[in-house]
Amino acid sequence: MSSNNNPASWQLNCSVSIPKNAEFVTLAHGEGGRLSRKLIQEHILASLNNEYLIALNDAAQLPKIEGPLALTTDSFVVSPLFFPGGDIGSLAVFGTVNDLTVSGAKPLWLTLSLILEEGFPLAILDRILESIARAAQETCIKIVAGDTKVVPRGAADGLFINTTGVGELITPIPSGPETLQVDDELIISGSIGRHGIAVLAAREELGLEPLPLSDCGSLLQSVERLQSGIGDQIRCMRDATRGGVAAVLHEWAEASELTLSIEERNVPVSPEVRGVCELLGLDPLHMANEGTMVIAVKPGAGAAAVEILKSIPETATAQQIGIVKSRGITPVTIRRTLGSEQPLDDPLGSPLPRIC
């Protein structure tokens, strides 16, 4: 983006047009006065209004619920703000909703904090708020509280978002990776690496055809079907975001002190992701996902889990990818397509920063 002090010179680092007559965020929009109220009333409430948010109290007053709660929070700094298959707004909602969902919770309420950079176009903010509203409606979660801050030009790369989600835990609650046992079965809900490759292609303007699309989306329906169909057979679930599938498997192996073993030929990878990974020397198992999860189920329940997932469009390419074994010399192994079983590296960090 530009370092020019003229707001009209502000540019997104992605191919989204800014109207010629665009208005821009100023520092005064974050200082609590008339412009702050104008920003909230004309932009935020215009997209996200509901019975909780309209009160504009210091704290949202929420109804009592009977069951135990789940609470999660996440911050989103993805660059670029718009990428093939999503944007920072939908990512901020789906990311937190998925964290609740794979923990066995029904999403209920969400807080939304925006850190805006001086000079950010209000028209682009409106597009992102509309995306947030659509994602919240799709996942039946209410945005009940929030905050807005404005920082000087160059301090926030346009827009950062923090969301905190509250959900009600639904029984049977998955018992967690520490309860994994030998012969438990491992499942992936869809083709892997799509979010990381989509952000990479957009950021570096690789000009790929066809364009890789992020899997940014909700896992809510898939998890609800799994819970109603084989709920007592589920050991644990985890959305495979930063670090990808490899990071999830290593976390579970560490928690259970067992070895998790997968078959490369069973792991679904789209031709677009496979092509980019081969070209750049990346492993799809290390690439980030934003709408794909790993599930561990008790022995014999894998086929039923895959059948349930395949009945839902978002997880139609689900596959059983491996099994849990007694601890061997390495915590996670993979049988490559043309080779023998070998260790699968634990990613030290993300091969691509700023992906969520």
The secondary element (H helix, E strand) that includes residue 286 is none
- Res 8 pLDDT > 80: no
Structural domain spans, the chain:
24-169, 177-343
- Res 1 pLDDT > 50: no
CA angle 192, 193, 197 (to 5 degrees): 150
pTM: 0.94
CATH code of 24-169, in short, is 3.30.1330.10
In this prediction, residues 308-336 reach a mean pLDDT of 97
CB-based contact 309:226 (threshold 8 Å): yes
Q: Give the rounded distance of the alpha carbon of 339 from its chain centre.
A: 33
- pLDDT tens for 120-131 read 999 999 999 999
Q: What is the pLDDT of residue 143?
A: 97
Main-chain dihedrals φ then ψ at residue 130, nearest 5 degrees: -65, -40
Q: What is the mean pLDDT of the chain?
A: 93
Which residue, chain included where needed, has tokens 């540019």? Answer: 11
Q: Which residues pair with 149 in a beta bridge?
A: 115
- pLDDT tens for 164-188 read 999 999 999 999 999 999 999 999 9
CB-based contact 143:110 (threshold 8 Å): yes
CB-based contact 275:193 (threshold 8 Å): no
Lowest average pLDDT, out of 18-22, 59-63, 190-194, 313-317, goes to 18-22
CATH code of 177-343, in short, is 3.90.650.10
CB-based contact 69:106 (threshold 8 Å): no
